[in-house]
Amino acid sequence: MKLMTRTELAIKALEELPEDRREEIADLILGVIATYSGDSALTEDQWAEVRRREAEGFEPADPDHFDKLIARI
């Protein structure tokens, strides 16, 4: 039995979706592929900073931050 590649698994999953969802996701994928050139506008130092920030994780901001600032004024 041949193991499926990730691409084959993705295509199979896409094919199992309802037609409207399949077309919507296919459009998204084709859009990403159309904009991918393999080259990046970022330098290696900038990529290192991106990876550093991704490793730190994300802490959501306080949604009331600006209201609190305005209230202090």
Q: Tell me the per-residue pLDDT of 29-41, one tens digit each, with 9 for 90 and over.
A: 888 887 776 777 7
Contacts 24+ apart (CB under 8 A), 47-55: none
Q: How confident is the model at residue 17 (pLDDT cuts 50, 70, 90)?
A: very high
DSSP, collapsed to helix, strand or coil, labels residue 1 as coil
Q: Tokens for 51?
A: 């990876």
| Whole-model pTM over 0.75 | no
Burial letters for 7-35: b for 16+ Cβ neighbours within 10 Å, e otherwise?
A: eeeeeeeeeeeeeeeeeeeeeeeeeeeee
Average pLDDT, the chain: 87
Q: What is the pLDDT of residue 37?
A: 67
